[in-house]
Structure 1
């Protein structure tokens, strides 16, 4: 089935079928853009309802369609691809002028980069490990491509933590969805996080994906996480029940861009999304949108498969 005619999965039965239809253990593992959601995914239902609007809780809360999708998505990736490691890019780690790669050793720390939440939210667990050789390999790939690049360790803070200090670690755009995808203890597969480009330009972040494209031939899974509708000034924008028509029009334009079958035409359609009249309503600041370009750059050839087309929170496989 070509990208232009593929059915867009909109419920659990459909997305399970779409995930199951991905080719198992191909020579190149697809690169994935996934919707990482918000800390609400890790809250109790009552706390989530107390924090946000009912519509937002239904769409991004602990029992939402997104939570259900992530719980299906993670195990399927492990079963289908048996990756040697996972390399993840997050909307929540921007660096200027150089690419920084985590090298956290035998246990990856967590950076709880959210503020004013319930005490339980600062006790969340996600136990995983790094891979020093992979971290160094990624740094060398970026250096060979002409980038400044280096690793960072547990001894270097990368941001503010809601527990009252600055620290290292995986941000909530990684550990909150990964807890659902892989469980609270996930030591079987190393995870390394790489920063995105703080220019937030589509072209610059597309090139970041191109640099790591060869990892897909090394049995390494490339995941790039963000949200295609992320407007914290207007929580109503983040649910289809309350979003303005212009936002739904923008979401439809995103899905149509994914469906363009010609790689060059698809690239241009994806670039043109930032010019759409609904883009600034969806992304007042681009950091949650540009991870899409990293995933697309890592697998710009081949077919694109939308694994779920849920409003504002799709997940997409590139290079199928």
Structure 2
């Protein structure tokens, strides 16, 4: 990585409760934040903003969105009052070769973003812009779109993707120290092995991996953000895992950076 280029980061964000209950994953996010050169802004791709078409937040003061239910009031009380960056939103629109909607009212910073940012930048003093996931696009289309964002890394913009490589809510085990499902460990390790070998094609065509892949990714929105980070890899760069683990039997907490 060049001395001035920001890394690209993927964080497996897991349960919203991590925002209230620090653990080894949140500690890894906090340590990552301390190790990074301070960016001028952060562009976040969150699994929790799926749209028709491509949207980007363009408001100067994005609101904190609590896009979940059934959790304690303390979680709904959390605010992450980071500023936005209309200039970065315009720059994203300029870089992408698809129509982009500049969103100024309905969205903001969702929990896929702030649950991680709360630890990366606890003072909420770095401008945040979110880029949506077009739900109609294929995995390859997402990967190709993400490539167009590469110039931002050399403009001191941190690109943070937030999702989970394995994310099957139907097979969660809520017990403490739940044992990971065999298929969850299998696919998570497959992802890591191919990523470390710089083999992106098998990860774009993840459905070919078979049953373990389909159990790990019953719906693709939590997986797509990982492809955005992979697509930002430049020649000579490699992926580095900064945290890993399977929580609640079927949620991968893998986090990695490209630098």
TM-score (normalizing by structure 2): 0.90
* Residue 214 (structure 1) aligned with residue 151 (structure 2): yes
**Gaps (5+ residues) in structure 1?**
1-22, 44-61, 158-167
Cα distance in 1 for residues equivalent to 2:74 and 2:174:
27
Residues 155-166 of structure 1 aligned to structure 2 (within 5 Å): 156-157=105-106
Instruction: Specify which structure has the higher proportion of helix.
Output: 1
Which of 129, 146, 156 is 1:192 aligned to? 129
Which of 239, 249, 254 is 1:314 aligned to? 254
Give the aligned partner of residue 149 of structure 1. Answer: 100
**Gaps (5+ residues) in structure 2?**
247-251
Which of 196, 199, 207 is 1:274 aligned to? 207
State the number of aligned residues.
252
Give the aligned partner of residue 131 of structure 1. Answer: 85
Q: CA RMSD in A?
A: 2.1
Residues 19-34 of structure 1 aligned to structure 2 (within 5 Å): 26-34=3-11
Given that residues 231 and 237 in structure 1 are in contact (C-alpha distance below 8 angstroms), is that contact kept between their aligned partners in structure 2?
no
Residues 74-113 of structure 1 aligned to structure 2 (within 5 Å): 74-77=33-36, 81-96=37-52, 98-105=53-60, 107-113=61-67
Instruction: Specify which structure has the higher proportion of strand.
Output: 2
Cα distance in 1 for residues equivalent to 2:49 and 2:118:
19
Given that residues 237 and 243 in structure 1 are in contact (C-alpha distance below 8 angstroms), is that contact kept between their aligned partners in structure 2?
no
Cα pair distance change 1:219/1:104, threshold 3 Å: same
Cα distance in 2 for residues equivalent to 1:274 and 1:190:
36
Deviation at 1:63, TM superposition (A): 3.4
TM-score (normalizing by structure 1): 0.73
Which of 130, 138, 141 is 1:201 aligned to? 138
SS at match of 1:89: strand
Alignment deviations for residues 15-61 of structure 1 (CA, whole Å, 9 cap, x no partner)? xxxxxxxx6x6243221111122211123xxxxxxxxxxxxxxxxxx
